[in-house]
Structure 1
């Protein structure tokens, strides 16, 4: 494993080092998502290289087994990034779960604050003390509503006429 890590470029090595537990503990959810996508791109790069070069070497070597052995470095690099991706995914899941928990608590706290308590509600006989405002359905006046209702009535009349003619 160290041999493969030493064969990585400086940028790739730094990227893998960022997936250590101590390094990821400092990151928030947005940073972890960014790191996750960078690791995934690197993993996909080496998986793609492994597959392409392996397929090309099968033709040259004449067998899949010998083609695979000639392509170990890309397979190892893909495995390193796969392990790093799994570490980041686990940490991201933990942080996302914690964030969801905090948001839920915040939402429930707001709901508790805005909701009236039963002690605030007076114990009347259940009748409304004010008349309130009169509600009028204003959607009936729109031209779209009139067309919709006319169309519906016409469709009903056509159905009834078809039944009557039988």
Structure 2
């Protein structure tokens, strides 16, 4: 990438200088996202300019290969910003991964602190527990023991009928 820096203007060089390791290390995830966006815009701009210029010279040059040789500066700018974008993307990936892992650990720790260890002593007269830490206030019935038994046996008969097919 350094071999093509001579084609950049001062403003473009300022953008590339933000890729210095100490400057990148100072940026947080939001700062890296903003830098990524600015470099992506520049890359798209100079890539489009290069392609348009080369496409316009195809007719007069007689082919794409000959036309591309005439637009070396535009191609060099596009190349520099493509490389810069890959550097920022790699840095952003590592920072985002670290942030995601920290968030995951924080959530797991919060879940561990808030989780109940269960009832300390469960006497026989204690209400039934449905899941961790939730006591049921009533039995699961539809209104009568006979009706519940009938419903279960009806379901069992239906299943037996399906299984016999």
Give the TM-score, by structure 2 length: 0.73
Tell me the distance in 2 between the aligned counterparts of 1:31 and 1:123.
54
- 1:123 shift after superposition: 3.4
> What is aligned with 1:122?
121
> What is aligned with 2:63?
63
Structure 1 runs of 4+ aligned residues shifted over 4 Å read none
Tell me the distance in 1 between the aligned counterparts of 2:8 and 2:102.
39
Deviations 1:34-75 (A, max 9, x none): 000100010111110111000001112122222111011111
1:132 is matched with which residue: 124, 131, 137? 137
- SS at 1:117 equivalent: coil
> What is aligned with 1:46?
46
1:1-166 superposed matches below 5 A: 1-2=1-2, 4-118=4-118, 121-125=120-124, 127-128=126-127, 132=137
> What is aligned with 1:151?
none
Q: Tell me, which stretches of 5 or more residues in structure 1 are unaligned?
A: 135-166
- 1:2 shift after superposition: 4.4
> 1:71–1:100: structure 2 CA closer, same or farther, 3 Å change rule?
same
Tell me the distance in 2 between the aligned counterparts of 1:64 and 1:131.
77
Tell me the distance in 1 between the aligned counterparts of 2:2 and 2:84.
14
Deviations 1:86-111 (A, max 9, x none): 11000000000000001111111110
RMSD (Å) for aligned C-alpha atoms: 2.4
> 1:52–1:131: structure 2 CA closer, same or farther, 3 Å change rule?
closer
Aligned length: 134
- SS at 1:39 equivalent: helix
- 1:133 shift after superposition: 7.6
